Amino acid sequence: MTPTDSNAQPVSTTQPSPAARLGPARPVTSLLVANRGEIALRIMRTARAMGITTVAVHSDADADSPHVAAADLAVRLPGTAPADTYLRPDLLLAAAAACGADAVHPGYGFLSESGDFARAVVDAGLIWVGPPAAAIDSMGSKIGSKEMMRAAGVPTLPSITIDGDTVPDAEQVDSLGWPLLVKASAGGGGRGMRIVDGPDDLADALMGARREALSAFGDGTVFLERYVTAPRHIEVQVLADAHGEVVALFERECSIQRRHQKIIEEAPSPVVGPALRARLSEAAVAAARAVGYVNAGTVEFVLDGEGDPYFLEMNTRLQVEHPVTEEVTGLDLVRLQLLVAGGSPLPDEVHQAVARGPVGHAIEVRLYAEDATAGWLPSTGTLDEFTVPTDRAGVRVDSGVVSGGVVSPHYDPMLAKVIAYAPTRAEATATLAATLAESRIHGVTTNRDLLVRTLRHVGFVSGATDTGFLDRHGLSTLAASLADDAAVARHALAAALAGQAERRSSARTLGALPSGWRNNTVDRQEITFDTGARTIHVGYRMGRRGRALAEAAVDGEVLDVVAGTVSPTEVVLTTGGLSRRYLVQRVGAVTYVDGPDGASRLVEEDRHPIAAEQVVEGSSLAPMPGSVVRVAVVAGDHVEAGQVLVVLEAMKMEHAVLAGTTGTVVEVDVVEGDQVETGRVLAVVEADPVDDPTDSRVEDPAAS
């Protein structure tokens, strides 16, 4: 265990230099980043600052991505699917050889926790920026790692391993205690994980977890462990060099999660004091020492209601949430990774940060392209606008996308990590919430409003967080739009006025009368928008020569409103003595409005619509592009509303398509393995007839 100083802060320990093959001990001069998007850009930023040549790899889908443009050199990986590109060690090593790279950084995800890839890199004479392959192998199996941690004296939860497709007997399962957690032995990120409340649901949970784990990690092995109700998720950042030095860089709390995947992380934890910090750090260092760890890694714990930590897993790579540790320690973890990989000992600044302890508070959110109200359904499409303001002190944005970029169905839907650092947790929380609220993100659905509402929730502000936070406080409430009905009404009026300003501007340029021009100014302009939740009708009339708003009504209700600035991109409205500035962007029939009262996406309805192609009533449609991994019904089956019909896989997660009504399946249009686009008919359910309560006829048995 790690000795601690008088302030109960963890200090470094030494271990015998591991007999591990990390590649040649020489400074890195040319680095291939075997990853994409945000993390590739993050690694390249530090590498370039260190004078290291950077090499990007990219699939065909990523040819125009920012990480490709940022690199000194780039190599194409033919194809789009991860299995054909970023998960191909042979292509990655060939790319390194082609451009003369002498080191490989795997980032996170993909091959970052593949012991075989680490060995292949070293066998090719390259520097591996990560831990020894043996350490990766040891921690790659959650089952094996738990056994190793028990032997090292690190506290763990009771668990049992599931062999093949078997379901363990009831007595064995009951000995763990309900509820249970099904987890994939390989990988992480919430994939291959299910909470099971009782024995009736166990078989289906095991089957789904195996299938998802096999797809995501190539290994369908799962295990069961006791599920700690309302736990906190706490993890410790560790660093180790090849000279025997191991340090713990304090904890991060990652309790706000969806689908067992973190969406808000912070350092330090609001409930971890010096004594618990020392205890966690000692356990983390013991875990690292047990596997002969070198480079950066994270040891994860679950903290129960009594404040006792239990080992979950060790992530043998750089974590998504590493920026919050960087902010409270003042260290660049990627720089330290590169120094250690090149054979250098941990520099003095690391030991100074350990002795000093965490300073200030940092919070990070993961901004995802997904619909929280629709089962976290990923959202794909073009980012018509992506702007996160960085004018506040302490705000940092790590992103892999830009305005005009495309969010594809091939990869994880994370758009960016937004981080705020401040002297206190309250300041960091307020800064981050305000920054997100002012962000302009158009073209895809995101979890932005959910993040803002969570950060501003009294429970989060007080530090009362655990992994069940979203469910406990009501996902539908937390994920609701920041724009209430009154705000949407103002947004619709702003959209209408900006549209007229755009038409007038275009008409002046062309020397024609503007669309909507009226010789009689008494008549009102009329326009109808679809917000996705409802339609909203706007009527307005301009004053003489169109210089001022004379009258405006939304859904028939006349508004007491004055329009100030009106242009195609900006509208200022004053209502009730309050002036609000709205930024407007129009893309085709869609108008985006952003203001201090939230944001709206408004689709202008065609005044002369053409009859659209009809979809058969009862059709269940693909909500996104994806691959069919399971067809749960056949024609003729009787199903209940909410029953699973088809399971799709997209962005490395499974999504169940459910029956919208109780009835009979009359058509199944897909088979396992099919690739489908958004809107594709998957199955058709004919609803059961509904008894007519007004039918008072009584059948006379004697009539037959």
Per residue in 211-231, pLDDT tens? 887 877 777 888 888 888 889
The span from the CA of 619 to the CA of 438, in Å, is 39
CA dihedral 155, 159, 164, 166 (to 10 degrees): 180
Burial class for 572, CB neighbours closer than 10 Å (0-12, 13-18, 19+)? middle
Least confident of 170-174, 458-462, 589-593, 646-650: 170-174
The SS3 of residue 581 is strand
Per residue in 21-38, pLDDT tens? 566 779 999 999 999 999
So what's the pLDDT on residue 11?
44
483 pLDDT higher than 90: yes
So what's the pLDDT on residue 689?
87
Per residue in 271-283, pLDDT tens? 999 999 999 999 9
Query: What is the average pLDDT value for the chain, to the nearest integer?
Result: 88
So what's the pLDDT on residue 219?
78
Q: What mean pLDDT is predicted for residues 127-155? A: 89
The span from the CA of 648 to the CA of 136, in Å, is 31
Does the 485-604 domain belong in CATH 3.30.700? yes
pLDDT band at 608 (very low <50, low <70, confident <90, very high): low
Q: What mean pLDDT is predicted for residues 106-116? A: 95
Q: What mean pLDDT is predicted for residues 367-384? A: 92
Structure tokens belonging to residue 319: 């974590």
- Backbone φ and ψ of 138, nearest 5°: -60, -40
CATH class of the domain at 23-129: alpha beta
515 pLDDT higher than 70: no
DSSP secondary structure of 53-109: EEEEEE-GGGTT-HHHHHSSEEEE-SSSSGGGTTT-HHHHHHHHHHHT--EEE--SS
pLDDT band at 162 (very low <50, low <70, confident <90, very high): confident
Dihedral angle sign, alpha carbons of residues 487, 488, 490, 494: positive
3-state SS of 455-487? HHCHHHHCCCCCCCHHHHHCHHHHCCCCCCHHH
Active site residue 210: no
Structure tokens belonging to residue 350: 């690391």
Compute how many other C-beta atoms are within 10 angstroms of the C-beta atom of residue 196.
21
| Residue 18 DSSP class | P
C-alpha atoms less than 13 angstroms from C-alpha of 71 in its C-beta half-sphere:
31
- Backbone φ and ψ of 476, nearest 5°: -60, -35
The span from the CA of 331 to the CA of 305, in Å, is 32
Per residue in 424-474, pLDDT tens? 999 999 999 999 999 999 999 999 999 999 999 999 999 999 999 999 999
Q: Can you identify the CATH homologous superfamily of domain 158-226?
A: ATP-grasp fold, A domain (3.30.1490.20)
- Backbone φ and ψ of 538, nearest 5°: -120, 130
Place of tokens 């920041």: 482
The SS3 of residue 268 is coil
Please name the residues in contact with 31: beta carbons below 8 A apart, sequence gap of 6 or more: 43, 44, 47, 52, 53, 54, 55, 101, 102, 103, 104, 105, 129, 338
The span from the CA of 634 to the CA of 685, in Å, is 11
Residue 600 β-bridge partners: 593
Compute how many other C-beta atoms are within 10 angstroms of the C-beta atom of residue 54.
24
Q: What mean pLDDT is predicted for residues 2-6? A: 34
Structure tokens belonging to residue 618: 């009862």
169 pLDDT higher than 90: no
Counting other chains too, the contacts that 226-230 makes at CB distance below 8 Å and 24 or more residues apart are 226/157, 226/158, 226/159, 226/176, 226/177, 226/180, 226/181, 227/179, 227/180, 227/181, 227/195, 227/196, 228/157, 228/302, 228/304, 228/310, 229/179, 229/305, 229/468, 230/305, 230/466, 230/467, 230/468, 230/472
So what's the pLDDT on residue 305?
80
Nearest to 686 by CA among 633, 619, 614, 621: 619
CA angle 223, 226, 227 (to 5 degrees): 105
So what's the pLDDT on residue 187?
64
So what's the pLDDT on residue 694?
47
**Which CATH number, 3.90.850.10, 2.40.50.100, 2.60.40.790, 3.90.1010.10, labels domain 619-687?**
2.40.50.100
pLDDT band at 593 (very low <50, low <70, confident <90, very high): very high
Least confident of 168-177, 321-330, 505-514, 591-600: 505-514
Q: Can you identify the CATH homologous superfamily of domain 361-478?
A: ATP-grasp fold, B domain (3.30.470.20)
3-state helix, strand, coil in the chain (%, to 5): 30, 30, 40
Q: How is the chain split into domains, by residue range?
A: 23-129, 158-226, 361-478, 485-604, 619-687
The span from the CA of 549 to the CA of 540, in Å, is 7
Least confident of 17-26, 38-47, 130-139, 490-499: 17-26
Place of tokens 């009831």: 170
| Per-residue burial over 257-289, b = 16 or more CB atoms within 10 Å of its CB, e = otherwise | bbebbbbbbbbbbbbbeeebbbbbbbbbbbbbb
Burial class for 645, CB neighbours closer than 10 Å (0-12, 13-18, 19+)? buried
Pick the more confident residue, 111 or 648: 111
Per residue in 284-301, pLDDT tens? 999 999 999 999 999 999
The SS3 of residue 223 is strand
- Active-site annotation holder among 279, 317, 453, 586: 317
Structure tokens belonging to residue 233: 């998720």
Query: Which stretches of 103-227 are DSSP H helices?
Result: 115-123, 133-140, 142-151, 170-174, 202-217
The SS3 of residue 429 is helix
- Backbone φ and ψ of 220, nearest 5°: -90, 10
The CA distances from residue 550 to 545, 553, 562, 572, in Å, are 11, 11, 8, 15
Per residue in 628-687, pLDDT tens? 989 999 999 999 988 999 998 876 677 888 998 899 998 999 999 888 888 889 999 999
Same fold flag, 23-129 and 158-226 = no
Residues 380/408, Cβ–Cβ less than 8 Å: yes
55 pLDDT higher than 60: yes
Residues 65/85, Cβ–Cβ less than 8 Å: no
Residues 267/327, Cβ–Cβ less than 8 Å: yes
pTM, two decimals, is 0.83
pLDDT band at 184 (very low <50, low <70, confident <90, very high): confident
Compute how many other C-beta atoms are within 10 angstroms of the C-beta atom of residue 554.
23
Per residue in 527-586, pLDDT tens? 999 998 899 999 999 887 556 788 999 999 999 999 999 999 999 999 999 999 999 999
